[in-house]
Amino acid sequence: MKTKLATLALTATMVAAPAMADLVFPSLSYRTGPYAAGGIPYADGYADYFTLLNERDGGIGGVMAKVIECETGYNTEKGVECYEATKGEGSLVYNPLSTGITYQLIPKVTADGIPLYTPGYGRTSAANGKVFSNVFNFPANYWNAASLAINHLLEVNGGDLKGKKIALLYHNSAYGKEPIQTLEQLSAKHGFELVTIPVDHPGQEQKSQWLQIRREKPDNVLMWGWGVMNQVAIQEAANIRYPMENFIGAWWSGAEHDVAPAGANATGYKAVTFHNVGSDFPVFDDVQKYVVDAGKAAGAGDNIGKALYNRGFYAAMLMAEAARSAQEATGNADITAADMRNALESFSISEERMAELGMPNFGPAFEVNCANHGGPGTGAIQQWDAAAGKWSLISDFGPSDMDVIQPLIDADSAAYAAENNISERCN
Amino acid sequence: MFYREAGDFKTSYTDDSQTFPIKFDRIRYYAVLAVAFGIIPFIINDYWANAVVVPFLIYAIAAIGLNILTGYCGQVSLGTGGFMAVGAYACYKLMTSFPDVSIVFHVIGAGAITAFVGVLFGLPSLRIKGFYLAVATLAAQFFLVWLFNKVPWFYNYSASGQISAPERTVFNIAVTGPNTDAWAKYLICLVFVVAVAWIARNLTRGTVGRSWMAIRDMDIAAEIIGVNPLKAKMTAFAVSSFFIGISGALFFSVYLGAVEVGEAFGINKSFLVLFMVIIGGLGSIFGSFAGAAFLVILPVLLKNVLVGGMNWPIDIAAHLELMVVGGLIIIFLIAEPHGLAQLWRVTKEKLRLWPFPH
């Protein structure tokens, strides 16, 4: 007992950290564990953008940005610990890159008045700002991704999917289950048959799933995978000689490290994305100059232009812009989490602004309002070329089927509101 | 000098058979309770409650539960994570089906349901022993996780399969949900821990506990002297699962607030609780607390020292943490195979003789 108290006291002194007037952007990242391959480039991108702002522009509106990283290992218990450890440091917005941790944090951030930003992951129905006051998941969510994948298949098949068989290979968790409802609705609408095949965490063993795919012979396979599951699935698809162009991943199953292990066999593999790909943007020259060459990169500096690095970078850009608009709205350089939330709710980004930032056409131009926290829900399809070693967009950024998605969002958020006695806002 | 039986005269049988026969121990016990109930609730903050103390208390309940089965009755179980999941999902279904009933009864009800499931999966223990039983309980672990993933009724048909705890109150004070104060979270867990530890301690001192230990030490001999193995093993499974169910219910409702079964109650959880029991000491209530404290507090402490104190990169710190905790487990198992509880026992022996050891 005594030793326990002593350790408690020791931790107490370690936890106490000095308060400072920086703009704090906590990054609940994971650089260890079975999902580290995806967590590292994302965390690097998120941190590097803020480092770039500090080094090049002297912060945001003259105030330095500070990224506090906390290792979650994609584990919800550690996620809680990280949240509690960082929330007292003036954190402006959380971006945990984990659907499980997002579910944990939604009620907590709402109670604490801190915004939660979950681009392309988390709870899809959080797009309904009437119910989820503190959660933002623009520019697109899982259900948009499912619809975008189906839209692409419609395009490929001349607008008709009747009688086709589409398999969904998914991570057997909250994350992987998210698109099922949407796909069921879409299958009723377009007349294709949906086969769902779960893969349990972490997904290193998928022989039986791919045996099932061989037996069922689906025309297309969609994948909702993350971490090591992606690499294994693409390798297994190559092993059974499944045509790669019929295999479409969600945007969390479309990174370089996912396709690289399968080598040349992965050529043709497709994935959905909600932002642009590649390193061909002026801003990355600045990153190279001010961040990487100055030795201030969050990682080894070799991830620039990779799919997940770009995503973290893009998320950081949107958050920095939101912080800037919060500063303008309040006339105060030192903003609070509440200011940040208000700014996110009236957030807008235009193509001109993105070009100004050196990221022309990096993502869609859109506006957020009180009722819609989900953005436009647009996306494109990217395809892998193993010989060139890069992704390229094979479609424009198109809309998703909101006629199907919006009722689902309304129903799911209404269920949440009823469960938690939340009355609708924005009326 | 202070720690001794001599001079403390017992004049009744009740006194003679009390839990802490040594006066110093009794005072210490009441002092710990006084601090836990009277001081900590006033000084605890969100970080302490959510990152350290509440998980420690909840894992302590799980460790006591597993210790009854494995430490006292000798039945190795790898199904702890699955049984915690039963507690969590039972609690969720009860909370959402009967919102007007107090959460305290839901947690106890969740424990009762888990006890029933535990007995069901304990039935094979009448025929199989040792490693083979471990494999049978491993099947329970995988089956239960699969079940809660597969059947949407258990998670009220939500799109993602996540279950989230709505706000529930005890005496009009929120104990679940996001608006819970740190002290309320802490106190509700503490009340359950004290109750569970008290019940466990008294059960293991009485007839039931003795029959468990007889089965553990040699089941055939126990049967010959009149211990009914059916009754002993089934009660051990029931009581153990009851406690584990309570810990699962609290883990979901009070501590995390939202869980998904594969991530929160996977095989890792079974191993974690088993390590707590082994490191703490098999067949010891104190050992359950010590093991839970070791495996909950040490990683948090290491993280705060390495990242917060010495500014190490978080990934190196996280990897080092795994190595240090793993290394310490091995060192402990080699240096003290009977766990932290044995260290405490040795200390007590030494204290009795101190300061004149010869």
Residues A42 and A150 in one domain: no
Asked if residue A2 has pLDDT above 50, the reply is no
Q: What is the reported pTM?
A: 0.90
Domain that residue B179 falls in: 23-266
Contact assessment for residue B291 and residue B339, using Cβ atoms and an 8 Å cutoff: yes
- Which pLDDT does position A14 carry in this prediction? 44
| Residues facing residue A195 across a β-bridge | A167
Q: Is residue B306 part of a domain?
A: no
Q: Is residue B44 part of a domain?
A: yes
- Which pLDDT does position A416 carry in this prediction? 87
Terminal-to-terminal C-alpha distance of chain B: 14
Q: Is residue A307 part of a domain?
A: yes
pLDDT confidence of A19, banded at 50, 70, 90?
very low
Q: How many domains does chain B have?
A: 1
Q: Å from A102 to nearest chain B CA?
A: 10
Residues A246 and A186 in one domain: yes
Asked if residue A266 has pLDDT above 50, the reply is yes
Residues A264 and A335 in one domain: no
Nearest CA in chain A to B181: A111
Q: Which of residues 21-60 of A touch B (CB under 8 A)?
A: 29, 31-32, 36, 40
Q: Each residue of B37-69: pLDDT tens digit?
A: 999 889 988 888 888 999 999 999 999 999 999
* Of the partner residues B96, B257, B308, the one whose CB lies closest to the CB of residue A17: B308
Subunit contact B164:A73, Cβ cutoff 8 A = no
Residues of B in contact with A101 (CB under 8 A): none
* Of the partner residues A11, A71, A198, the one whose CB lies closest to the CB of residue B318: A71
Q: Å from B304 to nearest chain A CA?
A: 6
Contact assessment for residue B270 and residue B81, using Cβ atoms and an 8 Å cutoff: yes
Residues A294 and A351 in one domain: yes
* Of the partner residues B166, B301, B308, the one whose CB lies closest to the CB of residue A7: B301
Subunit contact A201:B96, Cβ cutoff 8 A = no
Across A320-334, A342-356, A399-413, B154-168, least confident range:
B154-168
Q: Is residue A100 part of a domain?
A: yes
Residues A84 and A28 in one domain: yes
Cα–Cα distances (Å) from B257 to A299, B175, B318, in that order, read 33, 10, 25
Residues A124 and A262 in one domain: no
Q: Is residue A427 part of a domain?
A: no
- Which pLDDT does position A1 carry in this prediction? 43
Asked if residue B4 has pLDDT above 90, the reply is no
Q: What CATH number is attached to the domain comprising A43?
A: 3.40.50.2300
Q: Is residue A3 part of a domain?
A: no
Residues A147 and A216 in one domain: yes
User: 3-state class of A170 per DSSP?
Assistant: strand
- Which pLDDT does position B90 carry in this prediction? 95
Contact assessment for residue A86 and residue A20, using Cβ atoms and an 8 Å cutoff: no
Q: Å from A81 to nearest chain B CA?
A: 5
For residue B39, give the DSSP letter: I
Residues A366 and A249 in one domain: no
Q: What is the mean pLDDT of residues B141-157?
A: 90
Residues A387 and A369 in one domain: no
Q: What is the mean pLDDT of residues A87-93?
A: 89
Strand bridging mode A165-171 / A193-199: parallel
| B56, amino acid identity | F
Q: Each residue of A118-147: pLDDT tens digit?
A: 999 988 889 999 999 999 998 899 999 999
Give the separation between CA B277 and CA B268, rounded to whole angstroms. Answer: 14
Subunit contact B259:A69, Cβ cutoff 8 A = no
Subunit contact A103:B162, Cβ cutoff 8 A = yes
Q: What is the mean pLDDT of residues A269-285?
A: 92
Residues A391 and A348 in one domain: no
* Of the partner residues A31, A108, A123, the one whose CB lies closest to the CB of residue B314: A31
In sequence order, the 6+-apart residues with CB closer than 8 A to the CB of A95 are: A25, A26, A27, A28, A46, A116, A117, A118, A119, A315, A319
Subunit contact B258:A420, Cβ cutoff 8 A = no
- Binning chain A into helix, strand and coil, the percentages to the nearest 5 are 50, 15, 35
Cα–Cα distances (Å) from B99 to A348, B84, B104, B155, B259, in that order, read 41, 22, 12, 16, 19
Extract the tokens encoding B191: 């009340």
Q: Is residue A150 part of a domain?
A: yes
Contact assessment for residue A319 and residue A25, using Cβ atoms and an 8 Å cutoff: yes
Residues of A in contact with B280 (CB under 8 A): none
Q: Is residue B52 part of a domain?
A: yes
- Which pLDDT does position B313 carry in this prediction? 84
Subunit contact B262:A178, Cβ cutoff 8 A = no
* Of the partner residues B301, B307, B315, the one whose CB lies closest to the CB of residue A11: B301
Residue-averaged pLDDT of chain B: 90
Q: Each residue of B175-189: pLDDT tens digit?
A: 888 888 889 999 999
Domain that residue A351 falls in: 14-140+278-375
pLDDT confidence of B5, banded at 50, 70, 90?
confident
Q: Is residue B342 part of a domain?
A: no
Give the separation between CA A384 and CA A387, rounded to whole angstroms. Answer: 9
Asked if residue A209 has pLDDT above 80, the reply is yes
| A329, amino acid identity | A
Q: Is residue A134 part of a domain?
A: yes
Nearest CA in chain B to A417: B166
Q: How many domains does chain A have?
A: 2
Give the separation between CA A421 and CA A418, rounded to whole angstroms. Answer: 5
Q: Each residue of B265-318: pLDDT tens digit?
A: 989 999 999 999 999 989 899 999 999 999 999 888 888 888 878 888 888 888
pLDDT confidence of A11, banded at 50, 70, 90?
very low
- Which pLDDT does position B1 carry in this prediction? 67
Q: Is residue A118 part of a domain?
A: yes
How many other CB atoms are there within 10 angstroms of residue B16's CB atom?
Answer: 9
Asked if residue A6 has pLDDT above 70, the reply is no
- Which pLDDT does position B15 carry in this prediction? 84
Subunit contact A88:B258, Cβ cutoff 8 A = no
Subunit contact A173:B257, Cβ cutoff 8 A = no
Subunit contact B50:A80, Cβ cutoff 8 A = yes
Subunit contact B314:A180, Cβ cutoff 8 A = no
Asked if residue B212 has pLDDT above 90, the reply is yes
Q: Is residue A413 part of a domain?
A: no
Residues A33 and A93 in one domain: yes
Residues A353 and A399 in one domain: no
Could you tell me if A12 lies within 8 Å of chain B, comparing CB atoms? yes
Nearest CA in chain A to B142: A200
Subunit contact B297:A75, Cβ cutoff 8 A = no
Residues of A in contact with B179 (CB under 8 A): 111
pLDDT confidence of A251, banded at 50, 70, 90?
very high
Asked if residue A9 has pLDDT above 50, the reply is no
* Of the partner residues B46, B266, B298, the one whose CB lies closest to the CB of residue A201: B266
Extract the tokens encoding B228: 């009914």
